[in-house]
Structure 1
Amino acid sequence: MTSIVQRHLFGPGPSNPYPEATEGLARPLLGHLDPAFLTIMDETCDRLRVAWGTDNARTLPLSATGSAGMEAAFVNTVHPGDVVVVAVNGLFGQRMCEVASRCGAEVVPVEHTWGTAIDPERVLAAHPSPKIVAAVHAETSTGVRSDIAALGDAVHASTDALLVVDAVTSIGGIELRADDWGIDVGYAGTQKCLGVAPGLAPFTINDRAFARRVERPQSWYLDLGLLGGYVGEAGAKGGGRTYHHTAPVAMISSLHAGLGRILDEGLENVWARHAAAGQALQDGLETMGLELFAEKGSRLPDLTTVRVPDGVDSAAVRRTLLERYDIEIGGGAGEFAASVWRIGLMGPNARPDAVALLLAALAETLGR
C-alpha cells in the first residue's frame, strides 16, 4: 500500500489547500443538476465575483485548469485575422501568443525583459488598432506584478480593444479589481492563492466582450454561449438551466468552501496577509545574502523569485529540501530554469510560521 506523503508546497503552485477546501472535497457527492448542487454553484459564482472584483453575470468556474481558461479567453474572442497585442514579460505571456495564434489571430508580441513589469505605453504603441490587448497580471515564471489598472486605462482611452488578463497567480492573493481596471475577459486557476486543488478555472467576461464574441467558436466544450446557459449567466439571472456537461461537483464544492474561507477572513485582509508573508520572506532571503530576481517595486508577495548563488546546484538544493524537510520549491522557467528558484507563499501558506520554516531549512541546506 502506498504511504501518504505530506509536503509543504512552497513552489509556484499548487499550494497547500485551505482545510475548508479539503473538507469540501469530502462532502457527499451530488448530481450536477441536483437543486442542492445548483445552489452551491450559484453561490460559488457569487463568491467568484467578489474575488474578481466584478459584477459580471458571466463569472463562473470553468471545468478545467487555468490553461483552459486561457484557451477559453481567446477561442471565444479572436476572430480570424484579428490583431492581438500581447505584453510578454515571461513564459505565460509567450503562451498567450501561442494560443491566440492558433485561434487565427495576427499576434503582435511586445517583448519585455524577464523580471520586469510591462510598460503600458510600449504595449499601446505596438499597433494603432488592435482588437485585443492581453497581459499577465502576476507572471508566475518571474515573480513580477504588472500594473493592470494603468494598462486598462491606456487601452480604453485610446482604442476599442478588449483587455484580456491572466490572473492565475493573483486572484485571492493580491489586489484584483476587474471592473475598476477595465478587464473585459479574465481567467485564473484554483491551485494558487485561492487555496484549492488544481482543476477549475475561475473565469469572467463582461457584456461588452460577450457581445463581440465568436458566435460558433472552434471549441464546443469552451463555448461561453453554451456554458452560460448552465452556470454563471443562468444562475445570476435566475433563468432555466440547459445541460452542457457533467460539472466536477466535488471540485466546485471545494472551491465554494475555499472561497467562503477567504471571504470570512475578508478579501483585503487576505491580501494583507500575503503581503506581510512575502515581505518577510524577501527580507529574510536578502539577509541571508541571496539576490532577488524580480525588479524592486514590481515583486509579487505571493511568489518570490531568487537567484541561485554561484557554484550552487539548484536541483540538488531543491532535492534536499524535498527529501529532508518535505519542502517543495520551484526551479526557474525558460533560460532561468537552473539559475532561479521560485518560492510561493500562497493561500494558507502565507503566514509567519511558513516563512520561518522555509528560511531555516534553506539556510541549513546552503550552510548559511
Structure 2
Amino acid sequence: MRTYKDLSPSLRTIMTPGPVEVDPRVLRAMSYPILGQFDPEFTELMNETMEMLRDVFQTNNQWAFPIDGTSRSGIEAVLVSIIEPGDKVLVPIYGRFGNLLVEIAERCGAEVAIIEQEWGAVFDPIDIITAIEREKPTIVAMVHGETSTGCIQKFDGIGAACREVDALLVVDAVATIGGVPVKTDEWLLDAVIGGTQKCLSVPSGMSPITYNDRIEAKVMRRKTIERGLREKGAPISSVKAVASNYFDLGMLQDYWSPKRLNHHTEATTMLYALREGLRIVLQEGLEERFSRHKRHEAALVAGLQAMGLTLYGDPLCKLPVVTCIRIPSGVDGEDVRSMLLNSFGIEIASSFGPLKGQIWRIGTMGFSCNQKNVLHVLGALEATLHWYGVDVSVGKALQAALAVYAHKREE
C-alpha cells in the first residue's frame, strides 16, 4: 500500500486578489469541536453571524446570512431565486465578472440586455441610469469591484433609478465587502453578495448575502404560485419554479429563520470561521479597516511607481484592494511570477481574457494587507525584475513606500 507524508503546505505570502492569507484567529476557530446544526448553542452562533453581517453590509435588512459554497454560490442563489423565464435583466459589463452575471441570467431564461465599458474603466452612473430608463428591466445585476481590472464602480443614483422602474438591483460585492464601504441601505441596493476569501480573510467556502423585502416579496410570490399550481396538478412545465433546490432562497429563509426547517447540513467549521472573521472586522472597526486598506494601497502604489512601473486602468476608479500593473516589455510575466513564488514565497496574480499576459494583479486584502507584506512584495519584485534585465530604479521602491508609512503615522 502506498504511504503518504503528513500534510505540510508551504508558507506563502499571498498577495493575489483572492484567496488571501487567513487570519490565525479564524484558523483557530475552525479547530473547535463540532456542534449539531440544531444545537441551541450552534443556532445562537447562527443568530450572531446574521447580526454581524448586517453591520458589515451596513443594512437593517432582516435577511443576512451565508450560502454554503464559494462566492459564486451566493450570486447563483440570489439570481436563480428571483429571475423568472422572460424577465429582462440589465448587466453593465466592465470586466470578467459582469460576463458571469450574464451567463447565469441566461441560464435562468432571462432576456439579457448588456451595456459595456472598455476594461480598465467604469461607467459614469448616468450611463447606467439612462440604460435603466431605456430598457426598463426587471433586474439590474452589477459588479461593485472588478478584480479582473482593478476597478470599482460608483452607484450614485442607480438605486433610485431602479426604484423608478420597479427594477431590483443586485450587486456582486465579493471583492469589496470588508475592505471598502458597501452601503447597502444608503445606496438602495436590493441584494448584495459578498465573499469570504478576500477582504474578510476567511477560507473560501461561504458566500454572505443580504437582501431586502423587495427581493423577499418576489421570492415568496414565486413560492406561493408554485405551490398553488402543484396543488392543482398543473404540469411541471407550467410551473416557473426556482431552478435550484439547494440555492432556493425561499427554502433557505426557513432554515435561517426561527423555524429552523431542515434544508441542508450546515458547514459548521465554516460558520465558526465566518463568525470569527466578522468579529475581527467589527472589532477593528469598519472605518479604520477601510483606512488601513487605503494606507497600504498608497504605499504599494508609491513603491511600484518609484520602481518605474506603470499602473493599468483609470486611476479615478481604482479599486483600493487590487492594484494592476502593466508587464514591462521584454519580460515574460509568468517567469516573474514563478521566481516570486519559488525564490521569495510570494504569490501575485496574472490576468485573463483581453488582459492575459499584459498585467499583473496584486491584492492588498484583509489579513494580507499589512506593511510587512507590502514591503516584502516590493523588494522581491524589484529584485526579480532586475534579475530578468528590466530597467528598474533600484532601491527607490522601498524608500517610497516607507515614506508613505512615515507620513501616514504623522497624520
TM-score range, shorter chain: over 0.9
Considering only aligned residues, what root-mean-square deviation do their CA atoms show, in Å?
1.2
TM-score, normalization: structure 2? 0.86
Which of the numbers 62, 84, 87 marks the counterpart of 2:89? 84
- Match in the other structure for 1:303: 322
Instruction: List 4+ stretches of structure 1 deviating above 3 A.
Output: none
- Match in the other structure for 2:396: none
In the alignment, the residues of structure 1 paired with residue 303 and residue 343 of structure 2 have an alpha-carbon distance, to the nearest angstrom, of 21
In the alignment, the residues of structure 2 paired with residue 311 and residue 40 of structure 1 have an alpha-carbon distance, to the nearest angstrom, of 54
3-state DSSP class of the match of 1:186? Answer: strand
- Match in the other structure for 1:10: 15
> For the Cα contact (< 8 Å) 2:129–2:157, is it kept in 1?
no
Alignment of 1:164-175 (within 5 A): 164-175=170-181
In the alignment, the residues of structure 2 paired with residue 328 and residue 175 of structure 1 have an alpha-carbon distance, to the nearest angstrom, of 26
> For the Cα contact (< 8 Å) 2:144–2:152, is it kept in 1?
yes
Which of the numbers 202, 226, 243 marks the counterpart of 1:218? 243
User: Does 1:155 pair with 2:180?
Assistant: no
TM superposition shift of 1:310? 0.8
User: Does 1:294 pair with 2:313?
Assistant: yes
TM superposition shift of 1:155? 2.8
In the alignment, the residues of structure 2 paired with residue 331 and residue 67 of structure 1 have an alpha-carbon distance, to the nearest angstrom, of 21
In the alignment, the residues of structure 1 paired with residue 112 and residue 208 of structure 2 have an alpha-carbon distance, to the nearest angstrom, of 25
In the alignment, the residues of structure 2 paired with residue 193 and residue 174 of structure 1 have an alpha-carbon distance, to the nearest angstrom, of 9
In the alignment, the residues of structure 1 paired with residue 288 and residue 247 of structure 2 have an alpha-carbon distance, to the nearest angstrom, of 34
User: Does 1:63 pair with 2:68?
Assistant: yes
User: Does 1:75 pair with 2:74?
Assistant: no
Q: Quick one: which amino acid aligns to residue 91 of structure 2?
A: V
Alignment of 1:1-368 (within 5 A): 1=5, 2-126=7-131, 127-156=134-163, 158-213=164-219, 214-215=222-223, 216-231=241-256, 234=257, 239-367=258-386, 368=392
Give a deviation string over 1:141-171, Cα, whole Å, max 9, x none: 0110110244223333x42111010000000
3-state DSSP class of the match of 1:179? Answer: coil
TM superposition shift of 1:207? 0.4
In the alignment, the residues of structure 2 paired with residue 178 and residue 3 of structure 1 have an alpha-carbon distance, to the nearest angstrom, of 41
3-state DSSP class of the match of 2:357? Answer: coil
Give a deviation string over 1:30-64, Cα, whole Å, max 9, x none: 11111111111111111111111111111101011
Structure 2 residues without counterparts, runs of 5 or longer: 224-240, 387-391, 393-411
Q: Quick one: which amino acid aligns to residue 165 of structure 2?
A: T
* Structure with more contact order per residue of length (Cα contacts < 8 Å, sep ≥ 6): 1
TM superposition shift of 1:333? 2.1
In the alignment, the residues of structure 2 paired with residue 57 and residue 241 of structure 1 have an alpha-carbon distance, to the nearest angstrom, of 15
Structure 1 residues without counterparts, runs of 5 or longer: none
3-state DSSP class of the match of 1:324? Answer: helix
3-state DSSP class of the match of 2:317? Answer: coil
In the alignment, the residues of structure 1 paired with residue 252 and residue 9 of structure 2 have an alpha-carbon distance, to the nearest angstrom, of 37
Q: Quick one: which amino acid aligns to residue 346 of structure 2?
A: I
Give a deviation string over 1:75-97, Cα, whole Å, max 9, x none: 01111111110010000001100
Give a deviation string over 1:107-137, Cα, whole Å, max 9, x none: 0111100011123222233333111111100
> For the Cα contact (< 8 Å) 1:148–1:181, is it kept in 2?
yes
In the alignment, the residues of structure 1 paired with residue 170 and residue 105 of structure 2 have an alpha-carbon distance, to the nearest angstrom, of 11
- Asked which structure has the greater CA Rg, the reply is 2
In the alignment, the residues of structure 2 paired with residue 119 and residue 80 of structure 1 have an alpha-carbon distance, to the nearest angstrom, of 30
> For the Cα contact (< 8 Å) 2:90–2:135, is it kept in 1?
no
Percent identical among aligned pairs is 41
